[in-house]
Amino acid sequence: MSVLDHRGLRQFLAVAENGTVRAAARALNISQPPLTAAIRQLEARLGVALFQRSVKGMALTPAGEALAEEARLVLGRLERAERRVAAIAGRPEPLRIGFVSAALNGPLQSLLRGLKTGAEPAPRITEMTTPEQIDAFRDGHLDVGLLHPPFPAVPGIDGYSLGRDPFWAAVPIRHPLAKHATLRFANIAKEPFVLFPEAQGPALHAAIKELVALNGGTIEIAAEARRVHSQLALVSGGLGVGLVTRSAAMTLTFQGVAMIPLEETEDRLFVELHAMAEPGTLTRLSPMLGDSYSS
Protein backbone atom coordinates (compact mmCIF):
# COMPACT_ATOMS: atom_id res chain seq x y z
CA MET A 1 0.00 0.00 0.00
CA SER A 2 1.36 3.40 -0.95
CA VAL A 3 2.42 5.83 1.75
CA LEU A 4 1.29 8.68 -0.52
CA ASP A 5 -2.17 10.18 -0.83
CA HIS A 6 -3.54 13.17 -2.71
CA ARG A 7 -3.92 15.28 0.46
CA GLY A 8 -0.30 14.72 1.43
CA LEU A 9 0.85 15.45 -2.11
CA ARG A 10 -1.07 18.73 -2.19
CA GLN A 11 0.44 19.77 1.12
CA PHE A 12 3.92 18.83 -0.05
CA LEU A 13 3.52 20.79 -3.30
CA ALA A 14 2.22 23.82 -1.41
CA VAL A 15 5.42 23.94 0.63
CA ALA A 16 7.57 23.29 -2.44
CA GLU A 17 5.92 26.09 -4.42
CA ASN A 18 5.68 28.65 -1.60
CA GLY A 19 9.16 28.09 -0.17
CA THR A 20 8.15 28.10 3.50
CA VAL A 21 5.70 26.21 5.67
CA ARG A 22 4.19 29.49 6.85
CA ALA A 23 3.40 30.67 3.33
CA ALA A 24 2.12 27.22 2.35
CA ALA A 25 -0.15 27.12 5.40
CA ARG A 26 -1.64 30.47 4.40
CA ALA A 27 -2.18 29.22 0.85
CA LEU A 28 -3.89 26.06 2.14
CA ASN A 29 -5.86 28.00 4.76
CA ILE A 30 -4.64 25.76 7.59
CA SER A 31 -2.47 26.39 10.64
CA GLN A 32 1.30 25.95 10.46
CA PRO A 33 1.97 23.24 13.11
CA PRO A 34 -0.17 20.49 11.48
CA LEU A 35 1.43 21.21 8.11
CA THR A 36 4.93 21.00 9.61
CA ALA A 37 4.01 17.69 11.21
CA ALA A 38 2.51 16.37 7.95
CA ILE A 39 5.69 17.13 5.98
CA ARG A 40 7.90 15.47 8.61
CA GLN A 41 5.61 12.41 8.65
CA LEU A 42 5.79 12.21 4.85
CA GLU A 43 9.59 12.31 4.94
CA ALA A 44 9.63 9.66 7.69
CA ARG A 45 7.33 7.33 5.71
CA LEU A 46 9.43 7.74 2.57
CA GLY A 47 12.69 7.47 4.50
CA VAL A 48 14.27 10.46 2.77
CA ALA A 49 14.60 14.22 3.24
CA LEU A 50 12.43 16.10 0.76
CA PHE A 51 13.56 19.59 1.77
CA GLN A 52 16.77 21.37 2.68
CA ARG A 53 15.83 23.65 5.56
CA SER A 54 17.52 26.99 6.20
CA VAL A 55 16.71 30.37 7.68
CA LYS A 56 15.79 31.52 4.17
CA GLY A 57 13.19 28.80 3.68
CA MET A 58 12.85 25.29 2.34
CA ALA A 59 14.43 24.13 -0.91
CA LEU A 60 13.76 20.79 -2.54
CA THR A 61 16.36 18.04 -2.35
CA PRO A 62 16.87 15.85 -5.46
CA ALA A 63 14.36 13.40 -3.96
CA GLY A 64 11.97 16.27 -3.34
CA GLU A 65 12.30 17.46 -6.93
CA ALA A 66 11.49 13.96 -8.17
CA LEU A 67 8.43 13.75 -5.93
CA ALA A 68 7.26 17.22 -6.98
CA GLU A 69 7.41 16.23 -10.66
CA GLU A 70 5.43 13.05 -10.05
CA ALA A 71 2.99 14.76 -7.69
CA ARG A 72 2.03 17.32 -10.30
CA LEU A 73 1.34 14.55 -12.81
CA VAL A 74 -0.73 12.52 -10.34
CA LEU A 75 -2.80 15.46 -9.13
CA GLY A 76 -3.27 16.67 -12.68
CA ARG A 77 -4.63 13.28 -13.72
CA LEU A 78 -6.98 13.22 -10.72
CA GLU A 79 -8.38 16.63 -11.59
CA ARG A 80 -8.87 15.65 -15.24
CA ALA A 81 -10.60 12.44 -14.12
CA GLU A 82 -13.03 14.41 -11.96
CA ARG A 83 -13.86 16.71 -14.88
CA ARG A 84 -14.42 13.79 -17.26
CA VAL A 85 -16.77 12.05 -14.84
CA ALA A 86 -18.69 15.30 -14.30
CA ALA A 87 -19.06 15.74 -18.07
CA ILE A 88 -20.35 12.16 -18.52
CA ALA A 89 -22.83 12.77 -15.70
CA GLY A 90 -24.20 15.76 -17.57
CA ARG A 91 -22.42 18.41 -15.50
CA PRO A 92 -19.78 19.69 -17.92
CA GLU A 93 -17.43 22.35 -16.60
CA PRO A 94 -16.08 25.18 -18.77
CA LEU A 95 -13.14 24.22 -20.96
CA ARG A 96 -9.97 25.90 -19.78
CA ILE A 97 -8.12 27.09 -22.88
CA GLY A 98 -4.59 28.46 -22.97
CA PHE A 99 -3.18 30.19 -26.04
CA VAL A 100 -0.09 31.96 -27.31
CA SER A 101 -0.64 35.25 -29.11
CA ALA A 102 -0.02 33.69 -32.53
CA ALA A 103 -3.23 31.66 -32.10
CA LEU A 104 -5.34 34.82 -32.16
CA ASN A 105 -5.17 35.06 -35.95
CA GLY A 106 -7.34 32.10 -36.87
CA PRO A 107 -7.24 28.94 -34.73
CA LEU A 108 -8.54 30.47 -31.50
CA GLN A 109 -11.26 32.38 -33.32
CA SER A 110 -12.34 29.23 -35.15
CA LEU A 111 -12.40 27.25 -31.92
CA LEU A 112 -14.48 29.84 -30.07
CA ARG A 113 -16.99 30.06 -32.92
CA GLY A 114 -17.34 26.28 -32.89
CA LEU A 115 -17.82 26.11 -29.14
CA LYS A 116 -20.42 28.86 -29.23
CA THR A 117 -22.74 26.66 -31.30
CA GLY A 118 -22.71 23.90 -28.64
CA ALA A 119 -24.51 23.54 -25.34
CA GLU A 120 -21.49 23.48 -23.03
CA PRO A 121 -20.55 26.40 -20.76
CA ALA A 122 -18.54 29.31 -22.12
CA PRO A 123 -14.82 28.47 -21.98
CA ARG A 124 -12.27 30.12 -19.72
CA ILE A 125 -9.56 31.58 -21.92
CA THR A 126 -6.10 32.68 -20.78
CA GLU A 127 -3.13 33.94 -22.78
CA MET A 128 -0.14 31.87 -21.63
CA THR A 129 3.37 31.14 -22.83
CA THR A 130 4.19 27.63 -24.01
CA PRO A 131 6.04 26.72 -20.75
CA GLU A 132 3.13 28.05 -18.70
CA GLN A 133 0.72 25.87 -20.67
CA ILE A 134 2.87 22.77 -20.19
CA ASP A 135 2.99 23.39 -16.44
CA ALA A 136 -0.78 23.93 -16.38
CA PHE A 137 -1.38 20.65 -18.23
CA ARG A 138 0.81 18.80 -15.75
CA ASP A 139 -1.06 20.34 -12.83
CA GLY A 140 -4.45 19.51 -14.35
CA HIS A 141 -5.35 23.19 -14.72
CA LEU A 142 -5.70 23.27 -18.51
CA ASP A 143 -7.90 21.34 -20.94
CA VAL A 144 -6.84 22.77 -24.31
CA GLY A 145 -3.59 24.40 -25.34
CA LEU A 146 -2.59 26.33 -28.46
CA LEU A 147 1.18 26.59 -28.20
CA HIS A 148 4.52 26.60 -29.99
CA PRO A 149 6.89 23.64 -30.25
CA PRO A 150 9.31 22.46 -29.06
CA PHE A 151 7.89 21.34 -25.71
CA PRO A 152 8.17 18.24 -23.51
CA ALA A 153 5.56 15.50 -23.65
CA VAL A 154 2.82 15.45 -21.02
CA PRO A 155 1.41 12.02 -20.11
CA GLY A 156 -2.21 11.66 -21.19
CA ILE A 157 -2.08 14.69 -23.48
CA ASP A 158 -1.96 14.43 -27.28
CA GLY A 159 -1.42 17.06 -29.93
CA TYR A 160 -0.98 17.84 -33.58
CA SER A 161 0.38 20.63 -35.72
CA LEU A 162 -1.92 23.34 -37.01
CA GLY A 163 0.71 24.35 -39.53
CA ARG A 164 3.50 26.85 -40.05
CA ASP A 165 3.10 30.58 -40.38
CA PRO A 166 5.98 32.29 -42.26
CA PHE A 167 7.16 35.82 -41.54
CA TRP A 168 6.80 39.01 -43.53
CA ALA A 169 8.84 42.18 -43.09
CA ALA A 170 7.28 45.18 -41.36
CA VAL A 171 8.91 48.33 -42.75
CA PRO A 172 8.38 52.02 -41.90
CA ILE A 173 6.18 53.44 -44.67
CA ARG A 174 8.76 56.13 -45.53
CA HIS A 175 11.65 53.66 -45.78
CA PRO A 176 12.90 53.08 -49.35
CA LEU A 177 12.15 49.35 -48.98
CA ALA A 178 8.45 50.08 -48.41
CA LYS A 179 7.86 50.52 -52.15
CA HIS A 180 8.79 46.89 -52.92
CA ALA A 181 6.12 44.23 -53.51
CA THR A 182 8.36 41.51 -52.05
CA LEU A 183 11.71 41.46 -50.27
CA ARG A 184 14.56 39.04 -49.71
CA PHE A 185 16.01 38.71 -46.23
CA ALA A 186 19.24 40.16 -47.62
CA ASN A 187 17.36 43.43 -48.13
CA ILE A 188 16.70 43.81 -44.41
CA ALA A 189 19.67 41.94 -42.86
CA LYS A 190 21.71 45.07 -42.21
CA GLU A 191 18.77 47.16 -40.97
CA PRO A 192 18.16 47.73 -37.24
CA PHE A 193 15.46 45.36 -35.99
CA VAL A 194 12.46 45.74 -33.71
CA LEU A 195 11.91 42.28 -32.21
CA PHE A 196 10.34 40.35 -29.37
CA PRO A 197 12.57 39.62 -26.33
CA GLU A 198 14.88 36.66 -26.86
CA ALA A 199 13.48 34.84 -23.82
CA GLN A 200 10.03 34.93 -25.41
CA GLY A 201 11.17 32.78 -28.35
CA PRO A 202 14.82 31.73 -28.14
CA ALA A 203 14.69 29.31 -31.09
CA LEU A 204 13.11 31.89 -33.40
CA HIS A 205 15.47 34.59 -32.16
CA ALA A 206 18.40 32.31 -33.03
CA ALA A 207 16.99 31.66 -36.51
CA ILE A 208 16.75 35.40 -37.16
CA LYS A 209 20.34 35.98 -36.00
CA GLU A 210 21.52 33.13 -38.22
CA LEU A 211 19.78 34.58 -41.29
CA VAL A 212 21.32 37.98 -40.58
CA ALA A 213 24.77 36.40 -40.35
CA LEU A 214 24.27 34.38 -43.53
CA ASN A 215 23.51 37.63 -45.32
CA GLY A 216 26.66 39.35 -44.13
CA GLY A 217 25.34 41.24 -41.16
CA THR A 218 25.53 41.33 -37.38
CA ILE A 219 22.13 41.78 -35.87
CA GLU A 220 21.35 45.22 -34.46
CA ILE A 221 18.30 45.24 -32.19
CA ALA A 222 17.02 48.78 -31.91
CA ALA A 223 14.09 47.95 -29.63
CA GLU A 224 12.16 45.07 -28.14
CA ALA A 225 8.47 44.60 -27.34
CA ARG A 226 6.47 41.54 -26.37
CA ARG A 227 3.34 42.19 -28.42
CA VAL A 228 2.96 42.60 -32.17
CA HIS A 229 1.05 45.88 -31.88
CA SER A 230 3.81 47.35 -29.73
CA GLN A 231 6.46 46.21 -32.21
CA LEU A 232 4.53 47.76 -35.09
CA ALA A 233 4.21 51.05 -33.22
CA LEU A 234 7.99 51.15 -32.83
CA VAL A 235 8.45 50.29 -36.53
CA SER A 236 6.03 53.06 -37.44
CA GLY A 237 8.17 55.44 -35.40
CA GLY A 238 11.14 54.59 -37.61
CA LEU A 239 13.23 52.67 -35.09
CA GLY A 240 13.82 49.76 -37.44
CA VAL A 241 12.23 46.93 -39.39
CA GLY A 242 10.13 44.24 -37.77
CA LEU A 243 8.94 40.74 -38.51
CA VAL A 244 5.29 39.76 -38.41
CA THR A 245 3.64 36.46 -39.27
CA ARG A 246 1.78 36.23 -42.56
CA SER A 247 -1.53 35.53 -40.83
CA ALA A 248 -1.12 38.67 -38.71
CA ALA A 249 0.02 40.75 -41.70
CA MET A 250 -3.09 39.73 -43.64
CA THR A 251 -5.47 40.61 -40.81
CA LEU A 252 -3.79 43.66 -39.25
CA THR A 253 -3.29 47.15 -40.56
CA PHE A 254 -1.07 49.66 -38.80
CA GLN A 255 -0.65 53.27 -39.82
CA GLY A 256 2.86 54.05 -40.98
CA VAL A 257 3.87 50.43 -41.58
CA ALA A 258 4.16 48.47 -44.83
CA MET A 259 3.99 44.68 -44.46
CA ILE A 260 5.85 42.94 -47.26
CA PRO A 261 6.26 39.21 -48.06
CA LEU A 262 9.74 37.78 -47.58
CA GLU A 263 10.97 35.44 -50.31
CA GLU A 264 12.89 32.22 -49.72
CA THR A 265 12.50 32.20 -45.94
CA GLU A 266 9.38 30.04 -45.50
CA ASP A 267 11.40 26.96 -44.45
CA ARG A 268 13.68 28.85 -42.07
CA LEU A 269 11.66 31.68 -40.56
CA PHE A 270 8.24 30.67 -39.26
CA VAL A 271 6.21 29.94 -36.18
CA GLU A 272 4.45 26.62 -35.79
CA LEU A 273 1.33 26.17 -33.73
CA HIS A 274 0.16 22.97 -32.06
CA ALA A 275 -3.15 22.07 -30.49
CA MET A 276 -2.96 19.93 -27.34
CA ALA A 277 -5.60 18.21 -25.21
CA GLU A 278 -6.65 14.79 -23.98
CA PRO A 279 -7.25 12.44 -26.94
CA GLY A 280 -11.06 12.53 -26.66
CA THR A 281 -11.17 16.30 -26.31
CA LEU A 282 -8.75 16.76 -29.20
CA THR A 283 -10.85 14.54 -31.48
CA ARG A 284 -13.97 16.52 -30.61
CA LEU A 285 -12.38 19.91 -31.14
CA SER A 286 -10.27 19.18 -34.24
CA PRO A 287 -13.03 20.09 -36.74
CA MET A 288 -13.38 23.48 -35.03
CA LEU A 289 -9.65 24.20 -35.19
CA GLY A 290 -9.09 23.44 -38.87
CA ASP A 291 -6.02 21.82 -40.35
CA SER A 292 -3.59 24.68 -40.80
CA TYR A 293 -3.15 28.43 -40.90
CA SER A 294 -0.27 28.31 -43.36
CA SER A 295 -2.08 27.47 -46.58
- Above 90 in pLDDT, residue 120? no
84 part of a folded domain: no
CA distance 77 to 216: 51
- Above 90 in pLDDT, residue 209? yes
- Above 90 in pLDDT, residue 156? no
- Asked if residue 215 and residue 229 are part of one domain, the reply reads yes
- Asked if residue 45 and residue 12 are part of one domain, the reply reads yes
- Asked if residue 150 and residue 283 are part of one domain, the reply reads yes
Last residue of a domain, one of 73, 105, 128: 73
- Asked if residue 253 and residue 201 are part of one domain, the reply reads yes
Q: How confident is the model at residue 208 (pLDDT cuts 50, 70, 90)?
A: very high
Q: How confident is the model at residue 150 (pLDDT cuts 50, 70, 90)?
A: confident
81 part of a folded domain: no
79 part of a folded domain: no
87 part of a folded domain: no
83 part of a folded domain: no
- Asked if residue 187 and residue 130 are part of one domain, the reply reads no
Q: How confident is the model at residue 118 (pLDDT cuts 50, 70, 90)?
A: low
- Smallest Cα–Cα separation from 201: which of 236, 165, 235? 165
In total, the chain counts a number of residues equal to: 295
pLDDT at position 88: 75
Query: What number is the average pLDDT over the span 146-162?
Result: 90
**Per-residue pLDDT tens for 163-191?**
899 999 999 999 999 999 999 999 999 99
CA distance 169 to 262: 6
Q: Exposed, middle or buried by CB within 10 Å (0-12, 13-18, 19+), for 87?
A: middle
Last residue of a domain, one of 73, 103, 120: 73
82 part of a folded domain: no
- Smallest Cα–Cα separation from 37: which of 12, 71, 64? 12
Prediction pTM value: 0.66
Assign 98 to helix, strand or coil: strand
Q: How confident is the model at residue 10 (pLDDT cuts 50, 70, 90)?
A: confident
- Above 80 in pLDDT, residue 80? no
- Asked if residue 156 and residue 172 are part of one domain, the reply reads no
- Asked if residue 111 and residue 129 are part of one domain, the reply reads yes
Please list the residues that pair with 194 across neighbouring strands: 223, 242
CATH code of the domain covering residue 15: 1.10.10.10
Q: Do 126 and 98 contact (CB within 8 A), yes or no?
A: yes
Q: Exposed, middle or buried by CB within 10 Å (0-12, 13-18, 19+), for 146?
A: buried
Question: Number of C-alpha atoms within 13 angstroms, CB side, residue 183?
Answer: 24
170 part of a folded domain: yes
Could you tell me the residue range of the domain that residue 178 belongs to? 166-269
Q: Measure the CA angle with vertex 142, ends 20 and 150; round to 5°.
A: 95
CA distance 32 to 2: 25
φ, ψ at 242 (rounded to 5°) = -120, 180
Domain count, the chain: 3
CATH code of the domain covering residue 130: 3.40.190.10
Question: Which of 50-59, 119-128, 180-189, 278-287 holds the top average pLDDT?
Answer: 180-189
